[in-house]
Structure 1
């Protein structure tokens, strides 16, 4: 997997401890970049860097309006940087992620990993504005998540067997 250094800033929200999140974050980011076929655009073996900000709905709503002109919170925002060691910033909102995980009957950490993968793909140039782009991005997300043992986020939730 590509070498990536992740800088984590917990600004707000009821996030699990960084020590619990970091291993999952490292696996998810590495798998996303590998699925994307990303190669560092710089020489010297310097690791790539990603900044991940863990925050709440209020903070991400302010960013969403300021940068995208959309009111209200969103689950993840990505801010790519020009080619270089810093790939960019990913901001995630805890309440929105938690609510989505509950509504879709997914584990919170699985949903978190999915949105981190999604954000990483944005940082390296993928988007989902048109259907073909969305399909490509979803395929890469599935590949990356499968690599780290997380089920297809676009599949139907498993229904427990009844006896």
Structure 2
């Protein structure tokens, strides 16, 4: 894997991490999970297996360092790595069709939903959940899925435009 691609991935994740930290909550405290959005954008822009592993590990470590979920460090790492691997195969499968904003939004939403379910499942198994899983899915995972699906479309478009204007060549 090229060093340029690794640097690009880490830069995207760093931007997502910073934006996630400074973004205020909207819709009753819900907010875009910018780290997750940038993780998905990294996979869309560089759909290589090595990048999926790198992206999952880095995003998992960044999430683990800042989680406010009790005992959520290991579940964050598990969820990001597994989500990246699943999305890698989905993106590879969908590469046969033209990627448009609807597909990008669906991938962003699906990735967020998978991430939430995997996180809650692993957290339930490792440390237990503070409230029932069904309640967390309906009050946190589903609203975040919708918000991140929309956010992924915008961030992907902005990132593609920046890549084009700067002359960066990925792959």
- Give TM-score, length-normalised by structure 2: 0.34
Higher share in helix: 2
- Give TM-score, length-normalised by structure 1: 0.35
